[in-house]
Structure 1
Amino acid sequence: MSEKPGEDVLRELEGERAVFGVAGKVVAGLAILWSLLQLWYASPLPFLTANIIPVQNDTDARSLHLAFGMLLAFLCYPAVKGKGGHAIPLYDWVLAGLGAFAAGYLFLFNDALAERPGLPTTLDLVVAGAGLLLLLEAARRALGLPIVIVALVFIAYVFFGDMAPDIVSWRGASFSRAMSHLWLGTEGVFGIAIGVSTSVIFLFVLFGALLEKGGAGDYFIRLAFSLVGHMRGGPAKAAVLASGMTGLVSGSSIANTVTTGTFTIPLMRRAGFSKEQAGAVEVAASVNGQIMPPVMGAAAFLMVEYVGISYVEVIKHAFLPAVISYIALVYLVHLEAAKANAPLLERADPMPAWHARLLRAGLAWTGITLFLGGAYYLIEFVRAVAGSAALPLLLGGLFVLYVGAIFVAARQRSDETASDFGKEGVPLPRFAETVGQGLHFLLPVALLVWCLVVERLSPGLSAFWAVMALLFILATQKLLIALLSGKGARPALLSEAQVILSGLEAGARNMIVIAVATAAAGIIVGTVSLTGIGLMLTDLVQLLSGGSLILMLLYVAVLCLVLGLGLPTTANYIVVSSLLAGVIVQLGAESGLVVPLIAVHLFVFYFGIMADVTPPVGLASFAAAAVSGGDPIRTGVTAFRYSLRTVILPFFFIFNTKLLLIGVEGPFDLLLTVLGALVGVLLFAAITQGWMLTRLKLWEGAVLLAAAFTLLRPGYFVDQVMPPVAEVSYEDARDYIAAAEEGGHVALIVEGVTFEGDEVRRTVRLPLGEPGTAAERLSAAGLELREEEGRVLVSSVRFGSPAGEAGISFDWEVLGAKLPQEQVSAYWLYVPAFALVALVVMTQRRRVR
């Protein structure tokens, strides 16, 4: 199996049937049609042709999206995995048609359903019930049993909630109400999750598929090997870098594991890693790709909707933990190779001295920085001077860059593939030559980042323009290379057309799992909004944790691991965030811990995707074991040990939000934050490996653990001596609220009775509006106050406002506020922490000598 191409291994693992002949052409045609319809929907064309073709609303688009997903799910996935053969049986054609009709029902009869909200007809209920059953069967085929079992448990809870234990009991719903909520409306299956899948995720998955088909995947792997392949444990380090680059546009840790692992796992085996170690490194790197901006396994776009902040903000907050986690994985691999004394791969040129390497790296990064800065200011200058003519000028400049990149690629082409590296007589590629072989692939990625970060276009529209640029590149790259090389143009044109059609098909086929997964996850989301089970889970976790913050976070982490078993990244995030994000927010507030919502969502997201690693249902570990031939359980256990450096990060950024770049004050503060986080995680990686310069003794590990904790959360010890906040009355807090800077926040202490009749006391963090009085600034957060008999009470809370989202209700009392107090800088604790590290390094160096 390890000799099969990665795509074939992935299809086999996912149970997808290989269909040939007329049926295969029909399936391919439907997949390509789906991709074209999604491009049409994302483009500006529907608005330009609105007089001819009516513009689809969101509900219509979601309905068509799921219709295609269910249609292809029944055609591409057999009823029994591994026994589908190469033909599609008649019953699968029938099920595919029924599934597509049930999913497309909202598109076909949208106007009629809008005229009778909450009053479904018999046909409506029959279609909704059949649609749910067909969706669960499609999910079973494409995703396996875990998500089906979870969905069935929640559906049973909808109808038989009165039979549940008292702590999570509810009265139950009628079939009519349940179907109206879960299928016929936009609160369940056709809710936010599948809306994001329709408008954003599809285009990013299509972008990744087109890049892979065009040769970018192989280019990323070659680039990684040219950078670090010559180092100790180089193939494993290259696997980490390649998976990181692939993870930038990948929506699946399993797909990432198989596509890059097909090349990297055999190379790691040649470098001395065991089957389980090689598979585990690939798993750890691929799962890390799901936390890596800008895509984050497509969860970044869901966070925009669920957290209510801009896409750029999501990326900014997620960036530092993802990067330092990847750097720590490279270091961990280095330690593993050092322990095993792994051999070095052959280089094509002699290894330069360390000072020459340092100089080269400095010049390279300086050149890249100057180029990017110069390009930005040049573009802004052209836009300011040329006005309306700027767009064609900039497009012309982009085309010139593209032709130049193709010219370099034509001269630097190599016949060796990534799988050849490490074989006898095949040296590693030179970086200077390798980087030029695929520079044109970076242009659509740069365009995507520019549209997202600089132009602030929506993620969907940004992805559309990036896909269009990539389609142009795929349509012309081989033709231009053939012309520059003096070869015939006709074979190149036919090859380009084949690549584009193959990419359009692959993008749609990759989306089947995500479309079905987000729809099935919508059942859980709909159940939460219908039954209010999220609040009940809060009570359950509070009961089990006994009010302890650390125990509460541990319970939530374990629940995320359990709920995430067997789910792809998108469905995983939808389920854990809808059920458990509110638990941390509410219980944290009741304990006085005020956490930004993005930190909470990243916490549950990190632990949800860890389910791809951990046995017994670590799908990424099973995929890696299928490629390496190792034991799946041992691969999963090893991969989880390698992933511990990622596991600890959420616990630290919940309490130290500077790790998410929240509350960072100036460049020096940023530098110290990055330094402490990076060194702290590297130390923790060394502890998990039991190795630094040589094997760690028990006392050395304990010292490094204390240093790592101090560097990752330096404020803990300062807080014990000098509390960071002081509780004051609301009267004393008025001046602070009125004088706070624009965009600031205030933590109010409130007390009242919930709708369930429980008396609670909470600390809520509310954003402040434009400068003004305290009442005016709190009003911007949706909170209106009144004074009555010396007490400050809530007069009203605006629906959907930050105050409303925080759970504040009418007639609650504002007891006071928690105001920040001046403290000694926590960074002074870096001095003893680095002194402890230096002590361990000295003792290790002495033993090495």
Structure 2
Amino acid sequence: MSMRENNSKEDAVVEEKPLGTVDVEEIAKKFDVESRYRNLTGKIGLMVAWIAVAMSVFHLITAGLIPMVTSKHRAIHLAFGLVLIFLMYPARKKSDQSKPTIFDYLLAILGAVGAGYLAVMFDSIAQRGMSSTTMDLAMGLLTMVIILEAARRSIGKELPILSLIFLAYAYLGPYLPGPLAHRGYSIKTLIEQMYLGSEGIFGIALGVSASYIFLFILFGAFLNGTGMSAFFTNGSMALAGHKPGGPAKVAILASGSLGMINGSAVANVATTGVFTIPLMHSVGYRKSFASGVEAVASTGGQIMPPIMGTAAFIMAEFLGIPYSEVVIAAIIPAALYYVALWFMVHYEAMKSGLRGIPKDQLPDFKKLFVQRAHLLLPIFLLMYMLFDGYTPVYAAFYSIISTYVISFLRKDTRMDLKTLFQTLESGAKGAIGIVAATAVVGYIVGVVSLTGIGLQLANMILVASNGILFLTLFMTMVACIILGMGLPTSACYIVGATVAAPALTQLGIEPITAHMFVLYFACLSAITPPVALAAYAGAGISGSNPSKVGWIAFRLGITGFLVPFIFVYSPGLLLQNPNYLVVGWAIITAMVGVFALGTSVVGFWRDNLNMVERILLFAAAILMIKSGIKTDAAGIAILALVLFLQLKRLKGSASFAKNASEDTTRAT
């Protein structure tokens, strides 16, 4: 079979813009709101660059040298973020893209004043027992409005609208029907809760952004500055490029590695996809399939330890547990996600007769390792410090410093002053969307804390599901996917954890299991139609039909939709069971289960699978991913049956081919 025979009609159409020549920035801006900022030049660009560098330097100093009072630190963090947002992000698509307007400068100043006021006056406010004055309330109202506009510009309108709905709920409580009714809160009380309180704008969400998330985004910028991203990509090519369907496996390795650092599935598709999607297509993968693989691989980076798109730090803060516990719990589910995707691209290649790239056309891994292996040292230092009990703040700080120092070990990775300046600038600019998201999500957290709506929503889910665990899980899944559509990973998780997780914990599910369940579905909204933004970004690169790519990505990511249900029923997959034999067996059977799932989805094992065999393999996958002696035995039996049917059919085909050949010879 020719490598191209399996391609669909969409691949036969000659495009005006060939694959591989797309504008990455254009794709990112189309599907990722955070990328829609102005490309400022000249004096204005230099001014914004210096503000961004100052923001990065401020966070490095307060992280490792001169600690600051938490509330003041968060206020200054927000002030920097607001100033950069209004200078960089236009109010509308039709606004001036070349430079900020007078209105933008005014909003930037007001944002700095509103957030800076709390930093300057915090001691005075604390001395009066957090009681508010007219000036406090005026500054609070100003800051709340400014944050909503900043969030609308930098991350889209969805989260600000959701926040306004929650604020309206808090104010209109007496007029609401049934269980949603409450006594209601005045505008003064809401401003005090959001601006002066510890559970509003300046609560846990913004606190994690100011302390952890910013530093890890900056760490990622430093790794990119030394060429680490190229090392990941070229290393993946060297390791997997020659295997059947090698470029797809390269996409899995590269996108998974980089995706866990940058915290945005869409941004990761836009950066790595421009390389991996054309490469997959060049060896025979359909463009739509290649785009789906990239979308699923990039989305998985958000659940991949150790960084998990910064969600791990937020979860640890929410649960009040060490960061290492979150990472350990996330290892096996993430491995199942990627192993299943690996099987799918492998058997798709076997089914279509696709081969890898010849080894002589690939990078030399030994040479690459010698040239760039020293760049791995900061990552090892980071992991050592995190698991040795150091706080993530100190671990990130020393990892950043070590990255800069280690870059000087080789000339081609050395960071000169220009590169250092650009790295500090890009780190700050990459974090400002998160600043806005975590600030505005504070409205939701603050209202939930003030009104108890979280418990009310949890009770409503429990009543609707009649307390049946599976139905509760399903309804929570739907809620998380809807709430997470179009939002950054951190905001997705915070909203889901605040609104949906209580329903699970009320049924006796361990908090870490409930929060991991919420995180998965908040992230998977990126590949869930109809708002599958990561898939649509991949379609934009390949020129494929976005809807088709969305459904392919949904199918390839099916493991991600099943595994959270399984680890709720089998907590051993989160390594929560102290019995190592039980956990070990659960992991082995789960791996076999995702193998069965992958073959079922693709429709190929030893030979093409008919519909009955695919259904049987899907059933075997569910049985084996869910740990238990009876389910495992049933799953193994079904696997054996399908294998027997496959081998019997292959033997019959070989016998038929042999007889046909003999008949032809005799006839000749």
1:135 CA displacement: 0.6
Higher helix share: 2
* Alignment match, 1:68: 80
What are the superposed Cα offsets for residues 80-109 of structure 1, whole Å, 9 maximum, x if unpaired? 136442111121111111112112221011
What's the counterpart of residue 458 of structure 1? 391
- Aligned partner of 2:621 in structure 1 is 708
- Any residues of structure 2 matched to 1:545-560 within 5 Å, and which? 545-560=465-480
Whole-angstrom distance in 1 between the partners of 2:339 and 2:371? 25
Report if aligned partners of 1:15, 1:82 keep a CA contact under 8 Å in 2: no
TM-superposed deviation, 1:644: 0.8
* 2:613 is the counterpart of 1:830: no
User: Is residue 27–residue 72 contact of structure 1 (8 Å, CA) maintained in 2?
Assistant: yes
Shift of 1:710: 2.6
Q: How does 1:136-215 map to 2 (within 5 A)?
A: 136-215=148-227
Supply the distance in 1 between the matched residues of 2:366 and 2:648 (Cα, whole angstroms): 39
1:499 & 1:82 partners in 2: Cα distance? 33
Counterpart for residue 116 of structure 1: 128
The correspondence of residues 338-357 of structure 1 with structure 2, limited to 5 A, is 338-348=350-360
Kindly indicate whether residue 541 of structure 2 is the aligned counterpart of residue 627 of structure 1. Answer: yes
The answer to whether 1:841 aligns with 2:626 is no
SS of equivalent to 2:432: helix
1:428 corresponds to which residue? Answer: 362
1:827-849, Cα deviation, whole Å (9 max, x unpaired): x7534432321221222233344
Change (3 A) 1:129 1:76: same
SS at match of 1:78: coil
Q: Specify which of 84, 91, 98 is matched with residue 103 of structure 2.
A: 91
Q: Specify the alignment match of 2:610 in structure 1.
A: 697
Residue 163 of structure 1, CA deviation: 2.7
Is the partner of 2:390 in helix, strand or coil?
Answer: coil
Quick one: distance in 1 between partners of 2:263 and 2:382?
16
Match of 2:51 in 1: 30
Normalised TM-score (structure 2):
0.91
What is the letter of the counterpart of residue 512 of structure 2? I
Residue in 2 aligned with 1:3? Answer: 21
**Runs of 5+ consecutive residues of structure 2 not aligned to the other structure:** 1-16, 655-668
- For 2:179 and 2:603, locate their aligned partners in 1 and report how far apart those are by CA, in whole Å: 44
Q: Structure 1 553/845 Cα, relative in aligned 2: closer, same or farther at 3 Å?
A: same
**3-state DSSP class of the match of 2:594?**
helix
Measured against aligned partners, the alpha-carbon deviations of 1:799-849 in whole angstroms (never above 9, x if no partner) come to xxxxxxxxxxxxxxxxxxxxxxxxxxx3x7534432321221222233344
The code of the aligned residue for 1:836 comes to: I
Q: Distance in 1 between matches of 2:457 and 2:519?
A: 18
Q: Distance in 1 between matches of 2:140 and 2:107?
A: 15
Query: What is residue 444 of structure 1 aligned with on the other side?
Result: 378
Q: What is aligned with 1:471?
A: 404
SS of 1:188's partner is coil
More strand by share: 1
SS in 1 for 2:92: coil
1:470 and 1:118 map into 2 onto residues whose CA distance is 42
Which amino acid in 2 is paired with 1:702?
I
Give the distance between the partners of 2:613 and 2:530, measured in 1 at CA. 33
- SS of residue matched to 2:588: helix
Match of 1:534 in 2: 454
User: Which residue of 27, 35, 40 maps to 2:61?
Assistant: 40
Deviations 1:728-783 (A, max 9, x none): xxxxxxxxxxxxxxxxxxxxxxxxxxxxxxxxxxxxxxxxxxxxxxxxxxxxxxxx
Q: Residue 655 of structure 1 corresponds to which residue in structure 2?
A: 569
User: In the TM superposition, what whole-angstrom CA distance separates every residue of 1:374-393 from its partner, at most 9, and x where no partner exists?
Assistant: xxxxxxxxxxxxxxxxxxxx
Calculate the TM-score normalised by the size of structure 1: 0.72
Q: Distance in 1 between matches of 2:392 and 2:488?
A: 21
Contact 1:167 1:539 in 2 (8 A): no
Shift of 1:566: 1.2
Letter in 1 for 2:471: L
Q: Give the secondary structure class of the aligned counterpart of 2:306.
A: coil
2:344 is aligned, of 303, 327, 332, to 332
Q: 1:98 to 1:498 in 2, by over 3 A?
A: same
| Residues 697-748 of structure 1, C-alpha deviations (whole Å, 9 max, x = no match) | 2332333233223322233xxxxxxxxxxxxxxxxxxxxxxxxxxxxxxxxx
SS of the equivalent of 1:128 reads helix
Partner SS state of residue 359, structure 2: coil
What stretches of structure 1 of length at least 5 have no aligned partner? 47-54, 349-426, 483-491, 589-593, 716-825
Deviation at 1:230, TM superposition (A): 1.0
**SS of residue paired to 2:262:** coil
From the superposition, tell whether residues 459 and 5 of structure 1 become closer, same or farther in structure 2 (CA, over 3 Å).
Answer: farther
User: Are the aligned partners of 1:77 and 1:84 in contact in 2 as well (CA < 8 Å)?
Assistant: no
Task: Tell me what 1:424 maps to.
Answer: none
State the alpha-carbon separation in 2 of the partners of residues 173 and 137 from structure 1.
23
Residue matched to 1:368: none
Deviation at 1:4, TM superposition (A): 5.3
The 3-state SS of whatever aligns with 1:18 is coil
Which residue of structure 2 lines up, in the alignment, with residue 518 of structure 1?
438
> Residue 7 of structure 1: CA displacement?
5.8
Distance 1:4 1:206, change over 3 A: farther
**Aligned to 2:587, which of 669, 674, 680?**
674
TM superposition shift of 1:508: 0.3
Letter in 2 for 1:629: G
- Whether contact under 8 Å (1:73, 1:138) holds in the other structure is yes
Report how far residue 6 of structure 1 moved. 4.4
- Quote how far apart the aligned CAs of 1:127 are: 1.4
CA distance, structure 2, for counterparts of residue 695 and residue 117 of structure 1: 72
2:201 partner SS: coil
Aligned residues of 2:623 and 2:634 also touching (Cα < 8 A): no
Q: Which amino acid aligns with 1:611?
A: S
The secondary structure found in structure 2 opposite 1:692 is coil
- CA distance in structure 2 between the partners assigned to 1:693 and 1:674 by the alignment: 24
Greater RCO (Cα-Cα under 8 Å, separation 6 or more) = 2
TM-superposed CA distance for 1:616, in Å, is 2.9
CA offset digits 1:37-74 (Å, max 9, x no partner): 0000110x21xxxxxxxx52000000011111111011
CA 1:92–1:689 in structure 2 vs 1: closer, same or farther (change >3 Å)?
same
**What corresponds to 1:752 in structure 2?**
none
Contact preservation (8 Å) 2:225, 2:423 = yes
Tell me the CA shift for residue 648 of structure 1. 0.2
Percent identity among equivalent residues?
39
Alpha carbons 1:200, 1:459 under 8 Å: kept:
yes
Q: Distance in 2 between matches of 1:346 and 1:688?
A: 28
Residue 615 to residue 702, structure 1, CA distance change in 2 (3 Å): closer
Inter-partner Cα distance in structure 2 for 1:82 and 1:664:
59
Stretch of structure 1 that moved more, 103-112 or 427-436: 427-436
Aligned partner letter, 1:177: T
How much has 1:696 moved relative to structure 2? Answer: 2.1
Amino acid at match of 1:655: Y
Structure 1 match to 2:11: none
Query: Within 1, Cα distance between the matches of 2:494 and 2:194?
Result: 15
The question of whether the paired residues in 2 share the 8 Å contact of 1:240 and 1:330 is answered with yes
Shift in CA distance, 430/5, structure 1 to aligned 2, threshold 3 Å = farther
Q: Return the alpha-carbon distance in structure 1 between the equivalents of residues 173 and 371 of structure 2.
A: 60
Taking the aligned partners of 1:615 and 1:711, their CA distance within structure 2 comes to 28
Give the aligned residue type for 1:42.
A
1:262 aligns with 2:274: yes
Residue in 1 that maps onto 2:305:
293
Specify the SS of the correspondent of 2:49: helix
Moved more, 116-125 or 236-245: 116-125
- Matched residue, 1:597: 511
What amino acid is the match of 1:646? G
Alignment-mate amino acid for residue 345 of structure 2:
V
1:135 pairs, out of 147, 168, 173, with 147
Deviation at 1:547, TM superposition (A): 2.4
What pairs with 1:740-819 in structure 2 (closer than 5 Å)? none
